[in-house]
Chain A
Amino acid sequence: MALADSLFSCRVLVVGAGGIGCELLKNLVLTGFKNIEVIDLDTIDVSNLNRQFLFQKKHVGKSKAQVAKESVLRFCPSANITAYHDSIMNPDYNMEFFRNFQLVMNALDNRAARNHVNRMCLAADIPLIESGTAGYLGQVTVIKKGQTECYECQPKPTQKTFPGCTIRNTPSEPIHCIVWAKYLFNQLFGEEDADREVSPDTADPEAAWNPADAAARATASDQDGDIKRVSTKEWARSTGYDPVKLFNKLFKDDIMYLLTMDKLWKKRKAPLPLDWTEIQQIESSQEESCGMGLKDQQVLGVQGYTQLFRRSVETLRSQLIEKGEGAELVWDKDDPSAMDFVSAAANLRMNVFSMNMKSRFDVKSMAGNIIPAIATTNAVIAGLIVLEALKILNSDFDQCRTIFLNKQPNPRKKLLVPCALDRPNSNCYVCASKPEVTVKLNVHKTIVQALQDKILKEKFGMVAPDVQIEDGKGTILISSEEGETEANNNKFLSGFGIRNGSRLQADDFLQDYTLLVNVIHSEELEKDVEFEVVGDAPDKAPAPSAPEEGKNIANGNKDSAQPSTSSKAAAEDDDVLIIDSDEEPSSSTMEASPESSNRKRKHHDADDAASKRKRLDQQPSDDDEDIIALD
């Protein structure tokens, strides 16, 4: 019984002890795996308890990995489990660490960590089982260096972001207002971000009657800064965070300013400013709690949100004071006052811009990128993970599959759809033998810090990059050692002789990953766009003959390859899932579901030699389409 023996002796790593992780740990020990290590940086929250069954109410606040281990040992005391309350991206978990295992199984909820584990497993040449769930949908796949696609072989769609002027000047959907409210939270109470302004954008190209005008306004506002511009936070501080003054500035004065930019309102409905005093005088309408629904699901009126605004500002203000000098609050959807504030501010703005207001419940979904989740989907996926694991350990690698769990059976009656694994993409910028990319940017306007953070870390998933310029001298631009190249951070790339056609070698030694970056200089990037990866078209529909699109597993709420900086939970919730569904080549209707897009490509499935595949990139109403990279 070779399989039983290998179960007994092999060591496996489970990355994540949440929804999938709990089910997976249970399945592993019941199947007979003896040596299991589990890692999770998160602590237990009450909202986890509907599915993360290894945790109880009394465990809220404790380490997931630790409590999971204890619970499992209760029903399988002979299991040998090591728990790490830590981030898998910590450099302690290097190649040597990964080489201890015969198999790694991800149970993650964010793309940054997935990218990282992908690279570590490639570097260490260990098979990786990837998975994800969202609502009723789920997916499992196997990644093996040299034999299958790696997690990054197919470009994953980046998360939707909105242009600055939409957020600041011309919101047209609730989500714009919610993003604005989150920016506002940070500007007032948290870490200020120059890229996330909330005040009217005077340099909005749409506002200018002629192009020269826009340029003039832009320079004017830049210059003005020295004298007049005071940061939002400084201004708020100067008023003592007076809710009334804040209210009037944000929902009256700033709106009136926007109204002066009349070109914006030629074709749009103009915003209607609110006045604090006027609102106080309106009869407080009975936003009767019908007691039938959740309190959170009520939509309040303007008065209600105004009161909520005031209360939350006062609470947040005292939290700031308590924390002391130079304190900053961190946005957390589970922090009631932070959520109250965003809910109130977003709704007031929606009201100003004539949109139907939303309940706190709905705002929370959007602001927090919440993916609905239940126990059963995770249970199914975790079961499938173990079945794949057994195949791998039994050296039945050719039996491994990608398996999709759908909500309804496809035309061939399948609810669980197995598909053959794809070969690696020879142009993959991660697993190809000498990966290369081309990046378009403005060498005179891009600083070294941006190259490091936004391009190498966020976009290309590096954790600790080292960068050399291929200029014959091997000039070091960025060193992963702290402090060594800090002086370079704020300098423009052109200052180092980087220009059109320059090549940079970027290494992440932890991930054993080298990426050659070709630089193309451009002065014609769109507003708000700092760089473009050539050949990357995540937001546009690819040409029909495009190479295979990713069967994207639930990747993350956040497109950014960086984990969130929220102290409480690095990742917010389970992933968004994108599914390919198997389909009859001939007679099936092309509209298996109204939401599906019409992209088809040839693919092999386990049963059928050639079956077309449709990519559903919009989920049924379970998932929120407008998900954006926030935080």
Chain B
Amino acid sequence: MIDTIEKEDNIISEEEAAQYDRQIRLWGLDAQKRLRGSRVLLVGLRGLGAEVAKNLILAGVKGLTLLDHEQVTEESRRAQFLIPVDADGQNQAQASLERAQLLNPMVEVKVDTDAVESKPDDFFFQFDAVCLTRCSKDLMVRVDQLCASRNIKVFCGDVYGYHGYMFSDLGQEHHYVEEKPKVVKGSNEANDGPEAKKGKVDPNETTMVKKTISFCSLKEALEVDWTNEKAKSSLKRTPADYFLLQVLLKFRTDKGRDPQPDSFAEDSQLFLQIRDDVLETMGLSSELLPNTFVRYLQMQKLMGGLDAPHRNFFFFDGLKGSGVVDYFGSK
């Protein structure tokens, strides 16, 4: 679907040029046009969702659909900045709409108050990209699978206290371009100065190089076989956050919610139990995810999305201040 964007409206208006100036200077006019032609679905409007919404709207996508079936509570209102103070009881996405739209009137912001689980397959097909937050593992796997068939980009992410993850599936054949400096050789008419030196690299002249990489499905990424030798040897360099994610997703599936500071005692017990189960099923030791992780399941909102096609997980550890990109799944 992204390929057809080129055929759409190619003129950037003066207003857009002025507003998007600083980002056009970063990623180029072409990229801005592609953004401007894309429709994105965002599921979940809590802290992380609000950040993602803000970033996408400011970037100037064509349309953003905010989907959330939950209601505003005091907790959810304090987690994000789009919901007005008097909105308790309203639908979360609906309550976020006005402020979201004000961020950039040039973007079509829509609201959908259905539960994402209830959506039929073809609902997702109207989008170029889908962002899932606070979703169950099964839902994410399902959506990822059906989007892959239509070359719709999928991003999943969640925040758990001081930890966060993001997963991206950009498809089996994701095309992108890289800007490389152009090397000017010998006598070249198109030189930037009267002295044409041989092989001079002109920092201002660059060339775009096309590249392709492939991403695996979420299912594959979460079902890595740790029993083979290769996987075992890479364990040492594997961020513990990957296993944390597995445990938290199972917690969410089993309990229907994430661990809460309010029910810390009960939740941490359950958490540790699930940890044992999950790691055992994988044929791994519980030591990979020490008990200390439990301490930090608290409230903290983290940051927004990232730009470059990081492959395929990003794990953030707010205590260490480290952010790691890692790949899980078949290569």
**Interface residues of A, Cβ cutoff 8 Å to B:** 26-27, 30-31, 46-47, 49-51, 53, 56-57, 74-77, 135-136, 172-174, 268-269, 291-297, 353-356, 361-362, 365, 370-376, 379-380, 383-384, 387-388, 399, 401, 403, 405, 407-409, 413-418, 573, 594, 606-607, 620-622, 624-626
A47 CA to B21 CA in the complex, in Å?
A: 6
CB pair A356 B192 closer than 8 Å:
yes
A361 CA to B195 CA in the complex, in Å?
A: 25
CB pair A53 B103 closer than 8 Å:
yes
CB pair A296 B17 closer than 8 Å:
yes
User: Given that A30-B81, A375-B304, A376-B304 are contacting pairs, would A606 and B321 also be in contact in the complex, using a CB cutoff of 8 Å?
Assistant: yes
Interface CB pairs A-B, < 8 A, 20:
A30-B79, A46-B18, A56-B103, A75-B99, A136-B308, A355-B194, A356-B190, A371-B22, A374-B27, A374-B59, A379-B54, A380-B303, A380-B306, A383-B303, A399-B319, A413-B324, A415-B323, A416-B321, A416-B322, A418-B322
User: Given that A30-B80, A75-B85, A172-B194 are contacting pairs, would A621 and B302 also be in contact in the complex, using a CB cutoff of 8 Å?
Assistant: no
CB pair A372 B322 closer than 8 Å:
no
CB pair B194 A353 closer than 8 Å:
yes
Q: Please tell me if B145 contacts chain A, counting CB pairs below 8 Å.
A: no
Residues from chain A with a CB closer than 8 A to the CB of B136 are: none
User: Given that A372-B26, A413-B325 are contacting pairs, would A355 and B59 also be in contact in the complex, using a CB cutoff of 8 Å?
Assistant: no
A47 CA to B82 CA in the complex, in Å?
A: 22
Residues from chain B with a CB closer than 8 A to the CB of A388 are: 321
Residue of B at shortest CB range from A78?
Answer: B85
User: Given that A50-B22, A294-B24, A408-B308 are contacting pairs, would A375 and B192 also be in contact in the complex, using a CB cutoff of 8 Å?
Assistant: no
Interface string of B71-89 (1 = CB under 8 A from A): 0000000111111110000
**For residues 8 through 47 of chain B, which have their beta carbon under 8 Å from a beta carbon of chain A?**
10-12, 17-27, 29, 47
A-B residue pairs, 10 tightest by C-beta: A416-B323, A372-B26, A269-B194, A418-B321, A372-B25, A383-B303, A409-B325, A379-B304, A373-B22, A380-B303
Instruction: Please classify how large the interface on chain B is, using the bins under 10, 10 to 19, 20 to 34, 35 or more.
Output: 35 or more
Residue of B at shortest CB range from A77?
Answer: B85
Other-chain residue from A174, A375, A621 in contact with B58 (beta carbon distance below 8 A): A375
Interface SS majority for chain A: loop
A53 CA to B318 CA in the complex, in Å?
A: 24
User: Given that A47-B18, A50-B20, A56-B102 are contacting pairs, would A375 and B54 also be in contact in the complex, using a CB cutoff of 8 Å?
Assistant: yes
Closest CB in chain B relative to A422 CB, distance in Å: 16
Residues from chain B with a CB closer than 8 A to the CB of A413 are: 237, 324-326
Residues from chain A with a CB closer than 8 A to the CB of B11 are: 291-292
Residues from chain B with a CB closer than 8 A to the CB of A573 are: 22
**Interface residues of B, Cβ cutoff 8 Å to A:** 10-12, 17-27, 29, 47, 51, 54-55, 58-60, 78-85, 99, 102-105, 162, 179, 181, 190-195, 203-204, 206, 237, 300-308, 310, 314, 316, 318-326
CB pair B179 A621 closer than 8 Å:
yes
A409 CA to B306 CA in the complex, in Å?
A: 12
CB pair B308 A407 closer than 8 Å:
yes
Residues from chain B with a CB closer than 8 A to the CB of A269 are: 194-195
Closest CB in chain B relative to A611 CB, distance in Å: 14
A56 CA to B101 CA in the complex, in Å?
A: 11
Residues from chain A with a CB closer than 8 A to the CB of B24 are: 294
A413 CA to B194 CA in the complex, in Å?
A: 43
CB pair A376 B325 closer than 8 Å:
no
Closest CB in chain B relative to A48 CB, distance in Å: 8
A626 CA to B204 CA in the complex, in Å?
A: 10
> For B17, B192, B194, which residue has the most chain A Cβ atoms within 10 angstroms?
B194
Residues from chain A with a CB closer than 8 A to the CB of B301 are: 27, 30-31, 383
List 5 additional contacts besides A50-B58, A51-B23, A365-B25; criterion CB under 8 Å.
Answer: A26-B81, A30-B47, A374-B27, A375-B54, A375-B55
A97 CA to B84 CA in the complex, in Å?
A: 34
User: Given that A136-B307, A172-B193 are contacting pairs, would A51 and B22 also be in contact in the complex, using a CB cutoff of 8 Å?
Assistant: yes
A360 CA to B84 CA in the complex, in Å?
A: 43
A362 CA to B17 CA in the complex, in Å?
A: 14
Residue of B at shortest CB range from A136?
Answer: B307
A627 CA to B331 CA in the complex, in Å?
A: 42
A173 CA to B196 CA in the complex, in Å?
A: 11
